[in-house]
Structure 1
Amino acid sequence: HSPVLASTNPAVISYDPAYGYEMAHIVRTGIERMYGGEHPDPNVMYYITVYNEPALQPAEPENVDVDGIVRGIHLVGKNAASGHKAKILASGVAIPWALEAQQLLLEWGVSADVWSVTSWTELRKDGLASDEQKFLYPNSDPTMPYLTGKLADSEGPTLGVSDFMHSVPDMIRPWISGDYATLGADGFGFSDTRAAARRYFKIDGPSIAVRVLEQLVVDQKIDPSVPQLAIDKYRLHEVAAGTSGTAGGDA
């Protein structure tokens, strides 16, 4: 829940990046803001979560969305396959599970896009600023929240997930159009591996896939029997069946 705690201090800019190239742009922007002498508000501090779990680091894509990385969200997994549409918003170490879920969903005829949320808190700040502008200046042209604009052309329900509790992805709920569900690691987990912990909390790849399928049932896009079929196939109720996670990097 550290991003929630960070959000209580307005001077803290909090990030939960997934990849090294995201980190590079965040750090560069932070140095420029605090020490470049040109930003109107340099008196800030940065809180960046960095994980010790081994993970493959992709090269920075061509034409990477640097503005999106810095402002809080960018697309990392566009799915061009045909099928019912959905959006998976994930941050930090949850990105590999989201990409895993993207592949699993193809088996059920679902084409999901994966977005990396580098900062839930910056998206929330932007949304609140937009709401305040509408509230105090009702006769002026309203500003669209950055998050709302980024997802405007995307179809289907949206799911938010991270390695933190539900309240982290819940931060951005007011500015997402349509159905929005979240998964989180609330409470105490009893497990001996990362994969088992994520299965216990139902935040691993198969859990994400099943939750998206349930959202599509609500939207009347797929048959109501499909989620249970997926639960049985992935043995979702078995903690030891989890595979979303790697060994190594332990403190």
Structure 2
Amino acid sequence: EGLQHQDGHSLVLASTVPVCQAYDPAFAYELGTIVEDGIRRMYGENPEDIFYYLTLYNENYSQPERPEGVEEGILEGLYRWSDRKGDGIPATILFSGTANLAAREAVEELSEHYGVDAELWSATSYKKLREEAVRIDRWNRLHPGEPPRKARVTEILEQSEGPIVAVSDFMTMVPDQVSRWVPRRFSILGTDGFGRSDSRSALRDFFEIDAGHVVVATLASLAAEGTIEADRVSDGMERYGIEPDTVDPSTVH
């Protein structure tokens, strides 16, 4: 991961290579599923001319068991990791890689302090989602007499509720690859700019991708839709020590 330089761009570079299968897994079971599929596709009975790029981290955290029936979602780029736990205000949070920690903490904070019940989705590959969506757009363009098809990312997120917030340890243009197919308001948190040689917590606060910023981004999206009052966003900023006029990390060099 490199705290000194914060690799926020390698998935952007990977997105330019058609045969590259790029993934940003959050959990060991996701990694195992992807590696198993990669061995089959590259070295199986009908080997494909492809290669894999996986972003792995050296941060230790508890690994959950693999839920039932998520293999297809892992390989195709997105699946629901946890449902809403109550009947509060709905929202949807997408995480990739170690950003699952901030997303999971944000869900607890939103529920306890703001009456927001968010569902969590693991986005293992925005590249895979975009490539499928582009193919669907092409098919629709070339079949004007047929009922239009929907991109997988659209169909999946139509099953969720509320505004959608994506967070990862990579540049915002990684999730932005699918923004035009996302069916509702879409906010992205990422690591645009140069990194800092510091602790993980300080780095994530600097890039505005920690739990507090995920909470505030969710509240801001809800306020923009008129679901909550703007003062709830201000309350969140005060609670997590977020200054409105702090320097934009993408401009620091």
TM over 0.5: yes
SS in 2 for 1:127: helix
1:92 aligns with 2:100: no
Segments of structure 2 that go 5 or more residues without pairing to the other structure are: 1-8, 245-253
Segments of structure 1 that go 5 or more residues without pairing to the other structure are: 239-251
Q: Which structure 2 residues correspond to residues 75-154 of structure 1 after superposition, within 5 A?
A: 75-106=80-111, 107-154=113-160
1:21 aligns with 2:29: yes
Please list the CA deviations of residues 59-84 of structure 1 after superposition, one character each: whole Å capped at 9, or x if unmatched: 222x1311001100111121221111
- 1:205 maps to which residue? 211
Q: 4, 15, 21: which is aligned to 2:12?
A: 4
Give the aligned residue type for 1:77: S
Give the aligned residue type for 2:22: S
SS in 1 for 2:91: strand
Aligned-residue Cα RMSD (Å) equals 1.4
Give the aligned residue type for 1:9: V
Task: Using structure 1 for the length normalisation, give the TM-score.
Answer: 0.90
- 1:216 maps to which residue? 222
Work out whether residues 199 and 236 of structure 1, in 8 Å CA contact, stay in contact via their aligned partners in 2.
Answer: no
Please list the CA deviations of residues 116-165 of structure 1 after superposition, one character each: whole Å capped at 9, or x if unmatched: 00101000101111111111111123222111111112111001111011
Give the aligned residue type for 1:68: G
Sequence identity, in percent? 39
Give the aligned residue type for 1:73: L
Partner Cα distance (2:109, 2:69) in 1: 26
Q: 1:19 to 1:117 in 2, by over 3 A?
A: same
Q: 187, 192, 200: which is aligned to 1:194?
A: 200
Most deviating of 144-153 and 208-217 = 144-153
Q: 1:96 to 1:134 in 2, by over 3 A?
A: same
Partner Cα distance (1:19, 1:78) in 2: 18
Give the aligned residue type for 2:95: A
Tell me the number of residue pairs that the alignment of Structure 1 and Structure 2 aligns: 235
Work out whether residues 77 and 99 of structure 1, in 8 Å CA contact, stay in contact via their aligned partners in 2.
Answer: no
Give the aligned residue type for 1:200: F
Task: Using structure 2 for the length normalisation, give the TM-score.
Answer: 0.89
